[in-house]
Every structure is written in C-alpha cells, then in structure tokens.
Structure 1
Amino acid sequence: MRKLGMIGGMSWVSTGIYYDRINRIIQKRSSPMASAPLLIESVDFCQLYGLREEQDWKRASEVLSESAKRLEDAGAGALIIAANSMHKVYDDVAAAVDIPILHIADPVALAIKRAGHKKAALIGTRNVMTESFYRKRLIAHGIDLSPPDMANVETLHGIIYDELMIGKASRDAERKLKTIITNKEQEGAEAIVLACTELNLVVDVNANVLPVFDSTRTHCEAAADWILQSE
C-alpha cells in the first residue's frame, strides 16, 4: 500500500472521522488486519478559524503549505486536506509540493454523475456555499448547482461552527438539516452535497427525501483508492 499524508485538525472531529473511515475501507478491501499507512499532521484550528480578510487566507495558505511540505518530506506520496472550506487555498498548497493533492470536490462530483443526477444543492459553511472556489469545481464536472439561500447559509454556518466542530450534534440541528433538505427537494434539486466534513453527524446520508452525497465519504473512498493502487 502507498503512504498518504493528511492535513487535519480542521476540525479534529472531522479528522477522526477520516481516520476511522479510511481504515474501515482499507480493512474491507484488503484484509481484516490491514490498516492504512497514513501520515497525519493535525494543525491548530485556532489559527484557521473564522477567516474573512485576504491576509487571513494568505496566512492559512502558508500554514497548510508548510504542513504539506513536511508531510511530503516525511514520505507521503500524495496528500488530502481533510476539510472543505480550506480548499479555498488548494491551488497554493498544491503548488508548494511535488506530489498530488486529491481534491475533495472531484470524487463527490463523479459520484453524483455516476448516479445520473445533474442538479444538486450545496450545503456547507458560508464560504463553500457562496464563493466560487468550490462551486466552480463541481460545475466543471457538469453539475448544475442551486443558488444559495442566505437564510440557510447563516443557519448552517452557525450549526457547523457552534456545534459540530466542537463535537456536538443536537436534535435541533438534525431537525433543521432535515427541513433544509426537504425544502431543496421542493425547489427542484435532484441531490444534496454535504460540503462540510462534519455534517454527516446530523444528516442520515442513507435516509432522506433526496440522495445525499457526503464529501467526507467520497473523499475517503478516493483516498483509499489511491492507497491501494499499484505504483
């Protein structure tokens, strides 16, 4: 198996989900005693929380780029950034290393296409839902995205940062997500993209009015594919 590097800590909750899920996939597809050869650097999320200004994102780019270089130097053959919102600086981080970085949006777009859907609604943090860096990656794969509802944007952003990123998953958050997804179905969406790595804590991916494509799940599948691929 090939050695994969993971930039985590954004949040530690999602990094734990990644570690568990990747290893379960490897165990299922390889051998009961197998575990994934992973190098993990968990950054301090206090440095990367609530970024707004351009200089804040420049600092985030530097933090993640330095992390990527350390993982490359330690022997990682490819990298993943275990967060959706931090893919805003994906191009800068990718340019800082000589190994590939598996983008989180690509496998979820491919999963939607394989399922035969063309129009999806994006659910995640404020910058993921409203800025172009993530949306254009899905659109490039031929996915038509519903415009963001700003009331939903603020509700979701609050749930993610005030609850999920610190390890809480309330019934109220579950109800709010179910309502948002139901409304998206009524507005004509064919699928939902969970573009936040912690949202699976309050959304049942397998039991909703619409097909739900979890970016964490598809990213972990892509990571496992790379690990198990022959040189």
Structure 2
Amino acid sequence: MQTIGLVGGMSWESSLVYYRDLNTGVHERLGGLSSPKLVLSTVDFAELTALEDAERWDRIGQLLSEAAQGVERAGADFLVLCTTTFHKVADDIEAAVGIPLLHLADVVAEAVKAERVTKVGLIGTTVAMEDSFFSDRMAEHGVEVVVPAAEHHAFLNDAIYEELVHGQVVDRTRRRVVEIIDGLWDAGAQGILVGCTELELLISQSDVDLPLFLCTTLHVEAALDRALG
C-alpha cells in the first residue's frame, strides 16, 4: 500500500471528509482492521483566505508548497490537495515536490468522459468559477465547462464560506442551488461538477435530475486506486 499525502485545512470540514472517506474506502476494499497509510498537513484557512482576498496567490502557492514538501519528507508516495479552489496554484506545488500530484481536474475529467459526457456545469467558489485554471485543465481532456451566470457567483461563494464551512446546511440555500443547477441544464450542461467539498454536504443526486459528479468523492476513489493498485 502506498502512503497518501494530504494537504488540507481548506476548510477543516473538507479535510475531515477526505480523511473519513479514505479510511472508509480502505475498510470497504480490504476489510478487517485495514486503514490507509496517510500523511496529513493542514494549513491555517484564515491566513489563506486573507491572502486570497488580497490576491496574493504567489504567497498562497508558497505556503501550500511548503506544506506539500513537509508531506513528502514524511514519506508520502503521492500528493492529494484537499480542495478545488486552491488547485489554482497546483503548478507551483507540483514544481516544489518530487512526488506526483493527483490533480483533481484530471480525475474528474476521466470520470466525466467515462459517462460519455462532454459538457458539464461547475458550481463552486467564485475563484473556481471565474478563473480558468480548472476549466482549462478539463478542456485538455476534451470536456467543456460552463458556469452559472455571474449574478449567482457571490451567492454560491457566500453559501460555502458563510454557511457550509461552519457546518450550517440551510434548506433555502439548497433550493436556490437547485435552481442554479437547472439554469446550467438550460445552458446545455449534461452533468454538474460539485466543485467544492462543502457543497457535497448540501446537494445530493436526489435533489436534481442532471447527473452529479462529486469532485471530492471522485478524488478519494482515485487516491484509493493509486494507493492500493
């Protein structure tokens, strides 16, 4: 079994999901008392969000690269970044370590293509929706990404940062997110990328008609495949 290196803390709820699901996944696959070999480094989310607000992505890249280097020194065989938004600095992190990074967009694109889907909607943070770092990486795999209309971006971002990262799951927020997803269907999306771990706490397949691609779930499964393969 390979050792999985996790860089988390963005938010701690997201890291909790990764840790829980990796442990559950190994138990389901191997049974008995089996659990994954993990190295976890978490960062201060308040510091990173302040730098994000100041658009100091150079400093964010440096901090996450240092965390990744610590994970590598601790014996990780490959790296998992427990976030969608901060994949914006994935290239910086990859350049800073000698172990491979299991890039979320690569994992998700393969899952989307396996379902013969070529156009997906993305819901997530403002950065993930408005910056092209994720959609460009998906496009390299032949998958087109569309995002909600601009007037919905602040609402989705606030739902994540003001509610979900604090463990608050609000029904009225769920209803509006479902409406936003319906709008992406009208825009031609054949499926929806739930592009933030916290959003997986809010939306499930039973809420919508379009197929959901749960990015964290797919990331975890890919990490298990690599670690156990």
Same fold (TM over 0.5): yes
| SS across alignment from 2:137 | helix
- Aligned twin of 1:169: 169
Q: Tell me the distance in 1 between the aligned counterparts of 2:147 and 2:105.
A: 17
Residues 185, 209 of structure 1: 8 Å contact kept: no
Q: CA deviation at 1:207?
A: 4.5
Residues 191, 210 of structure 2: 8 Å contact kept: yes
Residues 80, 223 of structure 1: 8 Å contact kept: yes
* CA offsets 1:184-224 (integer angstroms, 9 cap, x no match): 22332110011111111110135421000011011001111
- Report the residue type matching 2:76 in the other structure: A
- Aligned twin of 1:215: 215
- Aligned twin of 1:28: 28
* CA offsets 1:159-198 (integer angstroms, 9 cap, x no match): 0111111221111221111111122223321100111111
Percent sequence identity is: 38
Structure 2, unpaired ranges of 5+? none
- Aligned twin of 2:201: 201
Q: Comparing both structures, which one devotes a greater share of its residues to helix?
A: 2
- Aligned twin of 1:108: 108
- Report the residue type matching 2:118 in the other structure: K
Q: Tell me the distance in 1 between the aligned counterparts of 2:227 and 2:24.
A: 13
Q: Tell me the distance in 1 between the aligned counterparts of 2:87 and 2:93.
A: 9
* CA offsets 1:113-140 (integer angstroms, 9 cap, x no match): 1011111111110111111111101111
- Residues 75-154 of structure 1 aligned to structure 2 (within 5 Å): 75-154=75-154
Q: CA deviation at 1:147?
A: 4.6
Residues 122, 194 of structure 2: 8 Å contact kept: yes
Q: CA RMSD in A?
A: 1.3
- Aligned twin of 2:2: 2
1:42 is aligned to 2:42: yes
What TM-score do you get using the length of structure 2 for normalisation? 0.95
Q: Tell me the distance in 1 between the aligned counterparts of 2:101 and 2:94.
A: 6
Q: CA deviation at 1:32?
A: 3.3
| SS across alignment from 2:205 | coil
- Aligned twin of 1:189: 189
Q: Flag the 1:195–1:25 CA change in 2: closer, same or farther, 3 A.
A: same
Q: Provide runs of 4+ in structure 1 moved above 2 Å.
A: none
Structure 1, unpaired ranges of 5+? none
- Report the residue type matching 1:13 in the other structure: E
1:228 is aligned to 2:228: yes
